């Protein structure tokens, strides 16, 4: 006997589901910051694998193939609130080259992990660097179109 596990339009997204989708992300003023629609194929991800922020995943639960949704997310559900404690001051003379306002600089934390910051101000003595995510504190609009949903632990393949 041959069975086909065939994800269909009735299969709803839940934890562990494999989802094929296109999405776009825009900030509060309508400026698009990411979009997968220019790709030939939809992107594929597994719910809970860490490839989407929890707020984005939450917006997908219960959707099924063919569904489209637009969700507005506050900073707390997107990239987090802007935190003034994440702005650090450095001696300007300690940089190998004079920093430029608005440029992103790579730093290394105590665990030797890369950490990126945006130069906010450059003075003769002090340079301020913002380590907040560039989208922290911003309302985000997340648009998604679902193409295929495969239940957790299954593949759309023939089983012998």
13-27, 79-93, 119-133, 146-160: the lowest-pLDDT one? 146-160
Question: In 3-state terms, what secondary structure has residue 31?
Answer: coil
**Rounded Cα–Cα distance for residues 2 and 148 (Å):** 22
Q: Which CATH architecture has domain 84-130?
A: Beta Barrel (2.40)
* Nearest to 59, CA basis, from 28, 34, 23: 23
pTM of the model: 0.74
* Nearest to 131, CA basis, from 95, 79, 94, 75: 79
Quote the percentage of the chain above a pLDDT of 70.
Answer: 91
Per residue in 14-41, pLDDT (tens digit) is 999 999 999 999 998 889 999 998 888 9
7-21, 23-37, 111-125, 132-146: the lowest-pLDDT one? 7-21
pLDDT of residue 3: 43
**Does the pLDDT value for residue 10 go beyond 90?**
no
- Give the confidence band of 8 by pLDDT, cuts at 50, 70, 90: low
Residue spans per domain, the chain: 12-79+136-150, 84-130
CATH number attached to the domain at 12-79+136-150: 3.10.50.40
Phi-psi region of 124 (alpha: psi -120 to 50; beta: other; left: phi over 0): alpha
**Does the pLDDT value for residue 104 go beyond 50?**
yes
């Amino acid at each position: 006997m041959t069975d086909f596990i065939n994800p269909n339009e009735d299969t709803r997204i839940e934890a562990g589901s494999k989802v094929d989708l296109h999405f776009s992300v825009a900030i509060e003023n309508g400026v698009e910051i990411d979009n997968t629609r220019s790709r030939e194929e939809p992107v594929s991800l597994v719910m809970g694998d860490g490839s989407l922020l929890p707020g984005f995943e939450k917006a997908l639960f219960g959707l099924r193939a063919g569904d489209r949704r637009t969700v507005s997310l506050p900073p707390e559900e997107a990239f987090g609130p802007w935190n003034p404690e994440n702005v650090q001051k450095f001696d300007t003379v300690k940089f190998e080259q004079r920093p430029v306002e608005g440029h992103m600089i790579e730093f290394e934390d105590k665990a030797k992990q890369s950490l990126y910051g945006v130069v906010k101000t450059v003075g003769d003595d002090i340079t301020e660097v913002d380590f907040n995510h560039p989208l922290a504190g911003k309302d985000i609009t997340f648009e998604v179109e679902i193409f295929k949903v495969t239940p957790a632990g299954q593949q759309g393949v023939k089983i012998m």
